[in-house]
A and B are shown apart, each in its own frame.
Chain A
Amino acid sequence: MAEMAFTTKGLTKVYGTGRSAVHALRGVDLEIPKGEIVVLLGPSGSGKSTLLNIIGGLDRSTDGVAAFQEQNLTDMSDRELTKYRRQYVGFVFQFYNLMPSLTAHENVELVTEIADDPMDPDEALAMVGLKERVDHFPAQMSGGEQQRVAIARAVAKNPTVLFCDEPTGALDSKTGKSVLNVLRDVNQTLGATVLIVTHAASQAQMADRVIHFADGNIRQVVKNEHKLTPEEIEW
């Protein structure tokens, strides 16, 4: 049996109380094996981002258990969660979240300075094809380039897991494909588990596993036997 990156049991998240309570997650049971590319699909408000936030150490569950490699995330203190994010997790966001006052190289360095076993920032930027633009500030780059810097920043720490929340949401399809390519490379060369939250169903074709969300729970988990490359995907 494959080793699990994440397991959840009865994971529940409720926002608010009483009549105004919103159930974002309704007892999710899930297993995500190590080293896979997993795509979480579902309409807005179905709970996929909430799940990502909880197992990414950004939010806390109301009930249930979420574990990362046997470590119980739901019991961790703020300090431990920070350490977890620092050591194991890389994040890529829809709006890149780069530091505008730092160059591409420095944005990556921002993470390598605090990581235990980072790669060279130049190497990380070379992986995303930005070798020539290391000294540019975010304001001097296109959206796709900024997103690739964000990916370089996420992978430079040699993360065990890479969380991507709508990584192509703000990009055109051509740029989006190149970003997905980078994610696939990271998965293949670094062996990192990659979780991608997206609206775009077609992106599921590059995943090892597709998890369909609806109404705060998993509707279906599909194992993809015929993975496509990002170039082959149309959306």
Chain B
Amino acid sequence: MSVDKDTVRRIAKLARIALEEERVEPMVNELNQILHWVEQLGEVEVAGIEPLTSVVAQRLKMREDEVTAGGDAEAVTANAPQREDDYFVVPKVVE
């Protein structure tokens, strides 16, 4: 499988990454080079093999459902590029 310019524009949109038009063509080539290389996985028979989702055999731990952190709006918003009081500021989203 390989990607074309429209596919690259589409996945850049999905990933919310602005890609300048002159970067589209080189990105097509780079991605195809990588995709072509990973295609060798197609050689392997994987019928009946379960995907590995956890390398360590352990059950996810349970804990009490209680608030352990929070109530510190100052710390949470301290790194915001734009804030007002305890709020993050973004361009208008509702007309």
Q: Do A and B belong to a common assembly?
A: no
- Chain B residues at the A interface, C-beta cutoff of 8 Å: none
- Chain A residues at the B interface, C-beta cutoff of 8 Å: none
